[in-house]
């Protein structure tokens, strides 16, 4: 009976702490910041189901997509959702990752699957580079001008 009271006392204290932390907003903050971990867990769960031979190889495609998207969403949560305007090509890259995993781990997958995955990945990288170029173009021009100016100063003529 004494052991039972001790366990119930600990349980009541833990419940009270959870209620207080919930009222202070700790869980909503963690939920807001860490919800991409839920996507990551589902994606890794799909991989686990495949490797445990509980699901067909087709489950690797959504698994790869969810893992890739979870990293992208985590970056947006940490540094701001304005970055999605530059990171949107990663949506295409997620599909490429899923298809490549299917090609890599399924012996019966057609070779065209890898070709399609590589094309999607290359398209994604191209769009990322274009987004970087258009968003940071003025900084690239400024850096090139500074480098050109330093180069001209280093090669100054003997008579000024």
pTM: 0.70
Strand, helix or coil for residue 150: helix
Task: Look at the alpha carbons of 147, 86, 70, 120 in this order and tell me if their dihedral is positive or negative.
Answer: negative
- The pLDDT value recorded for residue 44 is 95
- The pLDDT value recorded for residue 71 is 94
Examine the pLDDT at 142 and tell me if it is beyond 90.
no
- The pLDDT value recorded for residue 19 is 75
Q: Can you tell me the distance from the alpha carbon of 26 to that of 33, in angstroms, rounded to the nearest whole number?
A: 11
Q: Work out the mean pLDDT of the chain and round it to a whole number.
A: 87
- When pLDDT is averaged across residues 11-21 and rounded to a whole number, the result is 80
Higher-pLDDT residue of 20 and 84 is 84
């Amino acid at each position: 009976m004494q052991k039972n009271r001790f366990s119930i006392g600990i349980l009541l204290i833990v419940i009270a702490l959870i209620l207080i932390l919930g009222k202070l907003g700790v869980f909503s903050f963690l939920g807001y910041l860490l919800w991409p971990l839920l996507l990551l867990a589902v994606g890794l769960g799909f991989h686990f189901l495949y490797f445990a031979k509980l699901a067909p190889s087709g489950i690797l495609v959504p698994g790869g997509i969810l893992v890739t998207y979870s990293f992208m969403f985590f970056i947006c949560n940490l540094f701001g959702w304005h970055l999605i305007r530059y990171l949107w090509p990663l949506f295409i890259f997620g599909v490429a990752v899923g298809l490549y995993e299917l090609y890599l781990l399924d012996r019966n997958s057609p070779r065209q699957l890898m070709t399609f995955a590589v094309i999607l990945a290359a398209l994604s990288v191209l769009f990322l580079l274009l987004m970087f170029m258009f968003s940071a173009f003025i900084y690239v021009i400024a850096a090139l001008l500074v480098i050109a100016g330093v180069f001209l100063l280093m090669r100054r003529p003997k008579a000024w």
